[in-house]
Chains A and B, each alone.
Chain A
């Protein structure tokens, strides 16, 4: 055998050992997070699966744990998500279009807006709750403790997520498409409306759904803006009082610790319900991305 063929037979043992050790360390980290998730899931399913049935979905909360259900919370969450979506889609997409297509980055105020949007995405959610309380519930708008105020507060909270996702989707449309459109005599607005936006809808839709999945689990801002805990009616309008799944979960867990009734399984069942809604929303986002993603 030549020197070369011997040399390529085997790497030195120490190099191979390091390689193996590194791989094991990576897998251990992965295993730890999966294990934690698994334990959490197991615990919730063990407690809650038995309660997650038609009665649970169709009953209102009650002073008797046996009869309590989450109907008001489910409808409250659906109303909140609807209001939130109606608010964030037009405002978020319009902002993203302005920043990507019109804003001149040499202007200081455009750069300031940009930096601030990045920062807003990292502001703790309870701060948005206080903002909602000061400006929407009381203050200038004085909407009261209504589902509209709750939905708008959640909207403000996730708006930066939509703007950032929207900008990325718009930026992914190649300049050659804009040039081709403008060269035919289309105006800038026609180019955006008929070429850039249709091509970026999958990315924007994905961003909106991911934003909503963040909003659906938020508890702190809703507590601050005054979501009710014990109500036995569904929202019937924008000015209605409301509760939401995370609030209901919080309330039931609270009771479990100092009440004779056993609300703990109810909280677990509501957590399961929230997770199912989340998984469904994320699945739609993934499906949208795979189905409509444009390869350039």
Chain B
């Protein structure tokens, strides 16, 4: 198997989703602030049932950057991140409107295969969800179902090394993953995701079930991983967003006339600006802890 962490290899993988003429012809309405956009979101709205859970989301997510999504509960951060790799497809009744462009390709175009999308856009969940198998088999599952070539032992070792877990588990690869600590389980889930060479890693509150030491390890890991991957993270921990992210989107909850709650983006900017000099007073109130 070739050395997958090299950038040219990742760019080679992108070509598998063919750009469609109608998308290529679509007018570019974004202000391109970032150096190279992985995702371009244009007026994205996600609904479960008749009412939108989050609406009017428009910003770009940059390559090799960590983008944090922050905001109070119910503001649609998790909903939004789950539509970036079409995990919302698994929820009956979920509907995505607007454009989610991934390397310029509309993710929700009819010819796009959600399974192909998820190969390239990995996801780490709020609660560590190792498979009820050995540590080795947890990592090997993805490469096996995708039919990746090469020595499985090498793939497993490289993924665990990238996930900063190799030294802790190399002597017990065949033991059940449920015997690991919560923090180790979450790093296993990150390593499992890295084993299939994704382009982007989505993290939905990856540290909310972990103690501060495990959280620190995962934050260090994220900073290391952004050399080769683009990361989007949902977090309730504002210090975490400030510590690790390059860009931050602040979401809020709005009530419409019928008392229906829906989320929308208040502000999207460099993390430093959001935390030191936000443009919107609601952002300031939230990041300084006056509300929320």
Contacts and interface: CB of A to CB of B under 8 A. Distances in A.
Contacts of B178: 295
Among the interface residues B116, B122, B142, which one has the most CB atoms of the partner chain A within 10 A? B142
A176 interface: yes
Contacts of B142: 184-186
Contact of B145 (A104, A106, A174, A186): A186
Interface stretch (A74-82, A187-195, A277-285): A187-195
B92 A177 contact: no
Contacts of B119: 184-185
Query: Chain A interface secondary structure, helix, strand, loop or mixed?
Result: helix
B129 interface: yes
B184 to A, nearest CB: 16
A177 B123 contact: no
Interface string A34-51: 000000000000000000
Interface string A174-214: 10111111111111001000110011000000000000000
A179 B82 CA distance: 11
B127 interface: yes
B189 interface: yes
Given A185-B145, A194-B145, A180 B131 contact: yes
Interface string B120-163: 10110101011110000000011001100000000000000000
A29 B122 CA distance: 58
Contacts of A190: 145
A194 B141 contact: yes
Contacts of B192: 180, 184
Contacts of B129: 174, 176-177, 179-180
A62 interface: no
A180 B189 contact: yes
A294 interface: yes
Contact of A179 (B90, B115, B145): B90
Contacts of B193: 183-184
Contacts of A181: 131, 141, 145
A104 B92 contact: yes
B85 interface: yes
B51 to A, nearest CB: 19
Give the interface residue-count category, chain B.
Answer: 20 to 34
Interface in B164-196: 178, 189, 192-193, 196
A277 B278 CA distance: 76
Nearest to A199: B132
Interface-centre pick from A177, A178, A182, A294 (highest chain B CB count, 10 A): A182
B261 interface: no
B118 interface: yes
B87 interface: yes
Given A179-B87, A194-B141, A194-B145, A185 B125 contact: no
B174 to A, nearest CB: 16
A180 B145 CA distance: 13
B141 A185 contact: no
A185 B131 contact: no
Nearest to A175: B90
A177 B141 CA distance: 12
A106 B92 CA distance: 10
B27 to A, nearest CB: 32
Interface string A258-296: 000000000000000000000000000000000000110
Given A180-B131, A187-B115, 7 more contacts: A177-B129, A179-B87, A180-B129, A181-B141, A185-B196, A186-B142, A294-B132
Interface of A: 104, 106, 174, 176-187, 190, 194-195, 198-199, 294-295
Interface of B: 85, 87, 90, 92, 115-116, 118-120, 122-123, 125, 127, 129-132, 141-142, 145-146, 178, 189, 192-193, 196
8 contacts: A176-B127, A179-B87, A180-B130, A184-B122, A185-B116, A185-B196, A190-B145, A294-B132
